[in-house]
Homo-oligomer: A and B are copies of this chain.
Amino acid sequence: MAQVKNILFIMCDQLRQDHLSCYGHPHLQTPHLDALAARGVIFDRAYVQSPYCGPSRMSYYTGRYVHSHGASWNFVPLKAGEMTIGDHLRPLGVRSVLVGKTHMRSDLAGMSRLGIDPDSQIGVRIAECGFDPYERDDGIHPYSGHDPDPTYSNWLREHGFGGDNPWEAWTNSTVDDEGRTRSGWFLKYSNRAARIPDEFSETPYITGRAMDFIREAGEQPWCLHLSFIKPHWPYIVPEPYASMYTADDALPVKRSQEERRDPHPVYGAMMNHRVSRTFSKDGVRETVMPGYMGLIKQIDDQMGRLFTFLEERGLMETTMIVFTSDHGDYLGDHWMGEKDLFHEQVVRVPLIVVDPDPRADVTRGTRCRALVEAIDHAATFLDVYGGPPVPHILDGRSLRPFLFGEQPADWRTAVISEYDYSFQDSRVELGTKPRDAWLRMIFDGRWKYVLAEGYRPMLFDLQTDPDEFADIGASEAPEHVQARQRLHEALFHWARQPRQRVTIPDGTIESIEVQPRIAEGGILIGYWDEDDLAQARQHFKPRFASRNPLVKSTLDRLTTTQGEPHDA
């Protein structure tokens, strides 16, 4: 293998880590992803910075915690000016391109204030998380608010799948036993086949579009964000995937009656969400799982198609491949649907990285247990292209040492995930103000501590309680009290890190002797007299000598002539 020229950054939406066979699923075989993993590294403990699409993705794209970038939910635009992967790689000659979903909402007000035309190249990049969009497709047409009649809809029509909303009519519909069309929005139909044939459904379409881009890309290095809409709901998949799995193939549900007895108020309110109540009913999960699993199997098959395509073009030798997800899915575990809390099913995601660099040969086919985060991707990509680290901007760190079999001595000892539940019914139910509707999780590999504004914290000990059934956030056991105190303090340390000093590199501060430079620049602070200055200047290094002739002559005069005649 050779040096990395391109990066293929593949993201699924709402894919649970435990739903790939290389992560241990007993019935859902994902041979293409398993083969990918065999050529690279499986990260066992990869965590996302938020359990929700928008904020999690903005953390992937900016390499910054939600606390840093502020786009804390799907409707919250990422600020114009926040740097993204695209901004970091562009000066290195790399084109960052999008095919698929970002869930980005444009900061139109910010662009207007800054005089940026949304239709200009810079404006489009700001609206697309810094990527050049080859094709943006957020799915669930036309409701996503991004493009009411996207390319995919037109493509469906061209192939005979017509109507005002062909996605709804074909891709997102099934036919019931009485021959009536039924919408994939309803969970009841998740175990039935979509009307659309496989090759015209979303995952193959988007895969094909990525291949189109790669075919056309030319010689410039690229970082392609191939971002699938699936296996995110609506949970409906065409044949043959629709019939591949039954409820018996699903992992056993993880929920305990204990969890419903006196739950933490926020958890209680989350269990009260419509989707949680629905998934807690008998039969719902059993109906949904075949669809969800089928969607994943379809992705794996498309990965096979894509990897073959890359191999045929010799691109496997020069392309770093990253496969991950923006978060998981409760699917009825813990009496929850969707993804509003921090259980492992949601915040721990699959992450497979194949680095063609020969230095990565030592780790191929291995698993890495380091605590890694979504924010590490931007730093990794920058590292791949030889960019200097920019810790004043990127909260994450390059994963490359792990790929090369190294263990950084000062690697993080805990991961962070945040959730702004302002927009959820749970906030309304609890009567919390939007400013206070925040949860922050810190997990050190054993203890998972969740700070909930206005409420007691939650705590789980994954060593004694790997299923996270017992919230010991109120326990008075000394070990639990200690763990809470320690993680509370660690969270404070994290929260107060300077993450907005992004306009000056740490290295600039470190590399210069600021004060001598200020003095040699003519700003004389705390000097009593000319002798004082003359003495100090002997210790200034010549490189600090001002290049401003006016400053230099003044300084020289101040230290040599001991004052001039009045009228000089």
Q: Which residues of A contact B (CB under 8 A)?
A: 67-72, 75-81, 83, 87, 107, 109-110, 113-116, 120, 122, 126, 140, 142-143, 145, 148, 164-165, 168, 175-176, 178-183, 185-188, 233-234, 273-279, 281, 284, 337-338, 391, 420, 422-425, 428, 433-435, 438, 440, 451, 488, 491-492, 495-504, 506, 509-510, 513-515, 521-530, 532-533, 536, 548, 550-551, 553-554, 558, 562-566, 568
User: Looking at A273, A279, A497, which has the most chain B CB atoms within 10 Å of its CB?
Assistant: A497
Complex Cα distance A309/B107, Å?
Answer: 44
Q: Which residues of B contact A115 (CB under 8 A)?
A: 116, 120, 122
The copy count of this chain in the complex is 2
Which B residues touch A180, using CB under 8 A? 562-566
Given B83, B186, B420, B562, which contacts A529 in the complex, CB threshold below 8 Å?
B186
10 intermolecular pairs with C-beta atoms under 8 Å apart: A67-B496, A69-B500, A80-B81, A81-B81, A115-B122, A145-B521, A182-B563, A185-B527, A278-B527, A278-B532
Instruction: Please determine whether A143 and B504 come into contact, CB atoms closer than 8 angstroms.
Output: no
Closest B residue to A438 by beta carbon equals B498
Residues in B with CB closer than 8 Å to A528 are 186-188, 278, 281, 284
Identify A526's interface contact among B275, B435, B499, B533, CB under 8 A: B275
Q: How far is the CB of A421 from chain B (nearest CB, A)?
A: 10
Note all chain B residues with C-beta closer than 8 A to A554: 165, 168
A514: shortest Cβ distance to chain B, in Å? 4
User: How many Å lie between the Cα of A506 and that of B76 in the bound state?
Assistant: 11
Q: How far is the CB of A84 from chain B (nearest CB, A)?
A: 10
B186 touches A527 (CB 8 A): yes
A434-B509, A440-B496 known; A113-B83 Cβ under 8 A: yes
A176 & B563 in contact (Cβ 8 Å cutoff)? yes
* A503–B566 touching, CB < 8 Å: no
Other than the given A185-B527, A337-B526, 12 more pairs (CB < 8 A) read: A78-B503, A114-B116, A140-B522, A165-B554, A180-B562, A181-B564, A185-B533, A274-B525, A274-B536, A281-B528, A424-B515, A433-B506
